[in-house]
Structures are given as C-alpha cells and as structure tokens.
Amino acid sequence: MTKPMEVRNPRTGKFDYVIIPPPPRLLAQQCNRARRSQPRWLQLGVEGRITALQQWKQAIISKREQLTEALVNDTGRLSISVLEIDSFLASIDRWCGLAPELLQESAKNTSIPFIALQQTAVPYSLVGVISPWNFPLLLSMIDTIPALIAGCAVIVKPSEIAPRFVAPLLTALNTVPELREVLVFLEGGGETGAALIECLDLVCFTGSVSTGREVAQEAARLFIPAYLELGGKDPAIVLESANLELATSAILWGAVVNTGQSCLSIERIYVAESIFEDFYHKLVAKAHRLQLAYPTVEDGAIGPIIAERQAGIINDHILDAVEKGAVIHCGGKVEELGGGWWCRPTVLTQVNHSMKVMTEETFGPIMPVMPFPTVEEAIYLANDSIYGLSAAVFAGSEAEALTVARQLNAGAISINDAGLTAMMHEGEKNAFKFSGMGGSRMGASGLKRFLRKQAFLIKTNSNHDPWWFE
C-alpha cells in the first residue's frame, strides 16, 4: 500500500482532506486499461467524441455546486473558482466547435503527376497531464480536452496541494461510459507523477522549472515528447507616452489576480523615468483599495496563498529586497489569519536586479517598480531573465508599443493590457528560454500537437516509374 497524503486547507491551515496515491501496479493497470480502450474511443469518430464530452459537460453542470465548493476548499478563493469552472466548460464547447475541421483528412495532388497524397493524422495513444495547484481545474483540463477530442486516452495527475475538485468531476464522468474508459484521474504527488511518465506516449507538464527539467529528462530517456509549460517572471514596460490610468489598472490586475499565483503574473514593472513617480503613486493608491477575501470568502478580491511553501518564498523575496534597499509602499508582509497565509498587494521601489524579487519567480501579489532611463535599457532589463513566458508593453500608440514588444524574448506580449493569454485562446505562442518547451497549447496547434501526421503516397498509374531500375 502507498501512504495516504493529507491535504491542507489554505484558509484554515487544517489538514482536512486525504488522497491515496495508487501503488505502482495499480497505476500501471489503470494506464494499460486506458491504452486498451483508446482505439474504441478513436473509432467513435470526432462526432462521437464530441457527444461524449458534451454529456460529461452537462453532468458537470449538474454538479456545479459541489465542484465550486471543492475548488474553494482547494484554493480558498471564490470568484476565480467560478471563472475557472466557466472557462473549463467554455473550453469543451470551443474544442468541440473547432475539432471537426481541424481533424479533417485531406487529399492533394503532388509535384509528381501520377502520385497522389492523402494526408491524415494519428493521435498518440496515451497522453499524461501533470498539473499544478494555482488553477487546479483549468490547468488539469487545458491539455486534456483537446487531447481527448483528438482521440487520445488521457491520464491526469493533478497537484497533491489542490486535489479536491477531482471528486465531483469523477461523479459526473461515471455517467459517460465511453469517456470513463479513456479519462483517468490519479491521486498523488511527485512520485506518482514520475511513475506515470513511464507509461505514456506523450507528457504534458505544467509546473515549476525544476520539476519540468526532471520531466524533460525522463521523457528524453523514454523517447516521448514532453510539452512543458513552466514558470515565468513576466515584465511590464511602461513607456513615457502610456496612459497611466490604464497602465496602472491593467498592471494591478495582471500582477495581483489570483493573489499573484499565476505563471503569467506581471512580476516586474519597468517605468520611464519621467513618469515613474506618477505611476507608482497611482499604482499604490489602487493597490490600497483591494481587500483580502477574509474573514469570509465573499469579502475581497485577494485570496489566501494556496501552497504553504509559497508563503515562505514570498516572505523571503520581500525580506531580501528590503535588506538590499527596497522601499515598501503598501502591503509588504505575509500575515497569518485564521490559520491561512495572506499577503496584501505590495508595491516596492528602489529595486534592482541583485534582488530575488526581480529575478526569481515570486508567485505572490508583489509589484516591484523600477525606473528606466532609455527604451534600450528597458528592453535590456526585461530580457535579463532566465524566463520568457509573456510580457506587457504600454505606450501611447500601438506602433510604439509593438516596436518595443518585437524586441522582447517572450512567447506572448500584451499591448496596453496585461495577462491577455489568460483571457483568449487564439494566440499561438511558444515559451522562450526556461519557461517551457513544445508546441503551442493555444490556437489550433493546441489540438494538432496530439497528432502525428501520416501520409499515404499513392501511385495512380500502372506505368514503369522513371526512377525504377530498367
């Protein structure tokens, strides 16, 4: 037997939930069963798979209350949990709408008149999805839904820090027999994740750079593709011509939404020297108005820090910055309230790149603001990072912002806004540097990367081919 794992509630600090990781033999059996069921799932055709996913969606809607409650217990926040559920349900509809066209086979003429080409694509049989705790539902499903529609069987291993949301999904899944055979959820931590990879044909991993590196090494050993969506330290650049009202509102949202526990949080802000004071005064005034969602979950916009270890990292980054000369204008500490860990939106100035808060992923509602003398310096500072997930540029004109944006080493750059990849899904993007690897999870390739292209090259006449031996 494997050891049960206790799960902490982020609002109360109490360990009030238990998960039981599967013993290695059971894990292997579950994977084998899903793999054996995959051909039947594929034979259903895209329309059959859409019907099954829509049935699951309806069953989830009927369990919405339980799902919301579970997610609130997982994460301690309400409005973002509602948003997660809505986005997840919308993603089922979106992929169901797109899939029939994306999965169409095509027939083509070729450069050789007597050879025709039929182009098709074959899904990977067994895909694994290993996900983090910050958006537990959304990030366990973001790759799962397109993989299922493509015809793969999927094993999901959600984070051990926020696993309660799985139970209502499973209850709903039990009403859809075809889907239940090819969609499996595993409970467990890193060991379970590592054991899962052994059984897969493709792994989708969302999480930290350090774990991502281990996953990539294991995938390389097994010779399977690894799609890695990892950490970030997203910069925002605010040029002299920017609308400060707009920039401060967008950056505040981009930095603080979900208490900053988002891979694409704005974590460093570079502002033109001439507008620096105005900018941070406005930002501080707006940050002050945000309240903690405490004592009740309905209270304010800022939920608790979900993972206890993250509270330590946020605290360490603030202390390190202050020790090296940073000034705190609001927030500035990790507080314990009712057993949970909390941090109010924090604005720091007098920061530089010797500080962890400017170079390492903080994953908290921290906004370090640094002035820049020239646009070249701003671009240099924004690119001075091991990360390259996304970024934001604010300027008086789209053209001016785009000129700067084109020089940034990041996969998605919001112009005069922040964190737009969280809100729309069409923009294909690859992570730069240590922020990830593999095909874009956004746009059409979010589905196509679960397929291997296959070509049928068909001779259409019975003549002697010119290149054959006489």
What Å distances lie between residue 376 and 165, 272, 404, 409, CA to CA?
46, 11, 9, 14
Measured from the CB atom, is 382 or 442 closer to ligand NAD? 442
Amino acid residing at 113: P
Known active-site residue 263: yes
What's the CA angle centered on 363, arms 358 and 369, to 5 degrees?
35
Interhelix angle 64-75/45-62, nearest 10 degrees: 80
CA atoms within 13 A on the CB side of 66: 14
Write down the least CB distance from residue 419 to ligand NAD, Å.
12
Which chain residues interact with ligand NAD by CB under 6 A? 130-134, 139, 157, 159-160, 189-190, 193-194, 206-208, 211, 214-215, 229-232, 263, 361, 389, 436
List the beta bridge partners of residue 126.
153
Q: For ligand NAD, give the closer residue by CB, 212 or 345.
A: 212
Minimum Å gap between C-beta 84 and ligand NAD is 12
Amino acid at 313: I
Alpha-helical runs (H) found in 174-243: 177-180, 190-197, 209-222
Closest residue to ligand NAD, based on beta-carbon distance: 193
CB nearer to ligand NAD: pick between 381 and 442: 442
Pair of tokens at residue 152: 């793969």
- Residue 136 CB, shortest distance to ligand NAD, in Å, is 9
95 or 280: CB nearest ligand NAD:
95
The structure tokens 């701003």 sit at: 378
CB of 444 to ligand NAD, least distance (A): 18
| Least CB distance to ligand NAD at residue 21 (A) | 10
> Can you tell me the distance from the alpha carbon of 267 to that of 273, in angstroms, rounded to the nearest whole number?
19
Instruction: With CA atoms as reference, report the closest residue to 329 among 358, 311, 349, 309.
Output: 349
Instruction: Tell me which DSSP letter residue 348 carries.
Output: E
Cβ 426 to ligand NAD shortest distance, Å? 16
Q: How far is the CB of 39 from ligand NAD (least distance, A)?
A: 27
Residue 125: HSE in the Cβ half-sphere, 13 Å Cα cutoff: 13
Annotated catalytic residue 360? no
| CB of 137 closer than 8 Å to CB of 88 | yes
- The residues with which 456 forms a beta bridge, in sequence order, are 118
Closer CB to ligand NAD, 74 or 229, in the complex = 229
3-class DSSP string for 12-72: CCCEEEEECCCCHHHHHHHHHHHHHHHHHHHHCHHHHHHHHHHHHHHHHHHCHHHHHHHHH
Would you give the DSSP letter of residue 130? Answer: E
| 9 vs 211, beta carbon nearer ligand NAD | 211
Catalytic residue among 160, 229, 360, 361, which?
Answer: 229
41 vs 95, beta carbon nearer ligand NAD:
95
Catalytic residue among 96, 152, 263, 343: 263
What the block records as the tokens of 208 is: 């930290």
Active site residues: 229, 263
